[in-house]
Amino acid sequence: METTIHRRSSCRTPRLASGIEMRAMAVEFPEVHGHPNRLPFEGVLTLVDVPSDKAPSGARGHRVILTRAAAEAALPSLLGMAVDYKAGWDGHDARQKCGIITSAELEGQRLTVAGYLYARDFPEFGSEFASQTTSGIHAAGAMGMSYELADAHVADMRAPIWTLTRATFTGAAILLREKAAYRSTSFRLHRAASQQRLAVAS
């Protein structure tokens, strides 16, 4: 059986009333009401033009700055990339792919993403995860995100803080915000979707 996926790839750069420039791209999938394996999520993946709070994996102990120009150029590479997680929520595991990124938006210094988690394939992201958003390890505000890059270009390898002027996004991880290189990242399930799934589960 051949399935046609309606694809909308858009790129817009409007200027908000506040003077902040926004750039966004998205791929639109057909809506399937109540799909058991699509759980919408959104999050702040990283900040641009801001030094990371700590060195990310692969940076040889250096904190990093992802320039806005590099993030804008790499924005299309985020679409269709996977999100992953590691047991313990403390890092990356590229083989544990649990969802897909369908949109990316750069507004001010925040690079936000949205997409779907494979809730049926990964029950830990289903009703149990959603029900713990107000307490425990998954408490509201406790979860964050971290990007995965390839072909990164560093302006000056001798600098104490590496400035990334070019890169390709290859995915992202969901993890505890305190474990992320940027502590201002965030991750959350869409409230309406998670509540609906909880009602169905009960």
Query: What is the rounded distance in angstroms from the CA atom of residue 113 to the CA atom of residue 26?
Result: 9
Percent of the chain whose predicted confidence (pLDDT) is above 70: 76
Query: What is the rounded distance in angstroms from the CA atom of residue 196 to the CA atom of residue 173?
Result: 25
Pairing of strands 97-107, 110-117: antiparallel
Domain locations along the chain: 10-201
The more confident residue out of 108 and 193 is 108
Q: What is the pLDDT of residues 90-128, one digit of tens each?
A: 999 999 999 999 999 999 999 999 999 999 999 887 655
Tokens 């104490």 found at: 160
Contact criterion met (CB below 8 Å) for 27 and 9: yes
* Strand intervals (E) in 30-160: 39-47, 63-66, 82-85, 97-107, 110-117, 143-154
For residue 66, CA distances in Å to 59, 93, 141, 179 come to: 12, 22, 23, 18
Q: What is the pLDDT of residues 2-28, one digit of tens each?
A: 222 233 344 455 444 445 566 888 988
Angle at CA of residue 112, ends 81 and 49, nearest 5°: 105
Q: How confident is the model at residue 30 (pLDDT cuts 50, 70, 90)?
A: confident
Q: How many residues in total does the chain contain?
A: 202
Query: What is the rounded distance in angstroms from the CA atom of residue 145 to the CA atom of residue 119?
Result: 18
CB atoms within 10 A of CB 181: 20
